[in-house]
Structure 1
């Protein structure tokens, strides 16, 4: 039986991905801040889920909690980081920006480093993280969110390069969603909004194929391409 951890399994993509992994024969460690939601999920398949409630912004606790959960699973083949936050912040409230960075940068880094070090020690593994198409360019409406997603994208690229240099079968998948029908998809005039089920199905396929980068849904690759083509002078005026 393969063993996985989903960080951020209380709702949205993380929850649905945990369900999908369990349905495909994985033993799954599910984490998040809201223990009650994790326990409810565990009750749907008690033999498939192990609960560990913690907050990845508690940097000192991350290694201990992940190590303990891995021991309970009996090892680890796959870790998916689906925990993140974002908020429109045009007035540049520093408190909001720091809250975003605490989770999307500091918490992300703590989980990524622990996972990669474990996989390097054991000689194999697969680390995946939900980033965002937002990481491709900056935005005046949500600077910290867009910047933190760019950080994640480049960090994953760095880990992928490191794995290649080590010549180890360690896979790193960067999952870049557009709009998915979750609590994170706030705002007006949203388009190409995918259901959680459709998004998760494509993510699971990408994980099975050990993809480096995947856009969710696939059509968002077009938007990513167009984002990169926007001249700096034009983007500055948007």
Structure 2
């Protein structure tokens, strides 16, 4: 039986991915801040799930919890990092921006580095991260969120370069969703909001094929191309 750890598994894409992996026969370590939801998953299927409560904005305690969880699982072949947060912040209230920075940059970096070095020391493994289409351009309404996702996209590329240059057997995969029907999707009249289960299914197919980058769902690949090609003077007026 293969073992996976899903960080950010109590809701949204992370929970859906954890449940899909468990249904496919994986032993899954689920990690998140909400102890009650973790316990619910573990009690629902104790043979499939092990849980560890961790808030990645507290790196020291989170990394200790992850190391303990990996040991209890008996190893780790796959680590999926789904943790993230963001708020609409048109008034530039720093109290709304700070959680995005602490979670999506500081905490995210700590757990991604932990997973990469875990696999590097053990001679290989798969590290998958969930970023966002939002990281391709800036956002007037959610500046910290989009900027933090841009950071993640570039950081993942750096880890890929490290893996290639060091000839390690750590495989890095990025899942880059558009708008998904979760609590993270805020605002009225959102465009092309995708169901969580469809996003998770396409993500798992991509992971099984070892794809370096997958934009989900397929229609968001069109948006991704447009965002990349759109001249700045037009984008700033959207």
TM range (shorter): over 0.9
Query: For residues 75-86 of structure 1, what are the structure 2 equivalents within 5 Å?
Result: 75-86=75-86
Determine if contact 2:120/2:169 at 8 Å carries over to the other structure: no
- Note the alpha carbon deviations across 1:124-183, whole angstroms, 9 max, x for none: 011111110000000111110000000000001111111111112211111111111111
Question: 1:237 maps to which residue?
Answer: 237
Question: 1:36 maps to which residue?
Answer: 36
Question: 2:127 maps to which residue?
Answer: 127
TM-score (normalizing by structure 2): 0.97
Question: 1:65 maps to which residue?
Answer: 65
TM-score (normalizing by structure 1): 0.97
Question: 2:149 maps to which residue?
Answer: 149
TM-fit CA distance, 1:237: 3.0
- Structure 1 gaps, min length 5: none
TM-fit CA distance, 1:79: 0.6
Whole-Å Cα distance in 1 between the matches of residues 179 and 233 of structure 2?
Answer: 26
Question: 1:196 maps to which residue?
Answer: 196
Question: 2:169 maps to which residue?
Answer: 169
Whole-Å Cα distance in 1 between the matches of residues 21 and 66 of structure 2?
Answer: 18
Question: 2:99 maps to which residue?
Answer: 99
- Note the alpha carbon deviations across 1:183-231, whole angstroms, 9 max, x for none: 1112112232221111110111111111111111011111010001111
Determine if contact 2:175/2:215 at 8 Å carries over to the other structure: yes
Whole-Å Cα distance in 2 between the matches of residues 71 and 102 of structure 1?
Answer: 27
Q: Give the SS at the match of 1:145.
A: helix
Q: Give the SS at the match of 1:20.
A: helix
Whole-Å Cα distance in 1 between the matches of residues 62 and 46 of structure 2?
Answer: 24
1:223 aligned onto 2:223? yes
RMSD, aligned CA: 1.0
Q: Give the SS at the match of 1:4.
A: strand
Query: Which deviates further from its counterpart, 145-154 or 174-183?
Result: 174-183
Whole-Å Cα distance in 1 between the matches of residues 235 and 199 of structure 2?
Answer: 29
Whole-Å Cα distance in 2 between the matches of residues 103 and 65 of structure 1?
Answer: 17
TM-fit CA distance, 1:88: 0.6
- Structure 2 gaps, min length 5: none
Whole-Å Cα distance in 1 between the matches of residues 199 and 43 of structure 2?
Answer: 24
Q: Give the SS at the match of 1:111.
A: helix
Whole-Å Cα distance in 2 between the matches of residues 213 and 45 of structure 1?
Answer: 31
Whole-Å Cα distance in 2 between the matches of residues 198 and 236 of structure 1?
Answer: 31
- Note the alpha carbon deviations across 1:25-49, whole angstroms, 9 max, x for none: 1100001010101111112211010
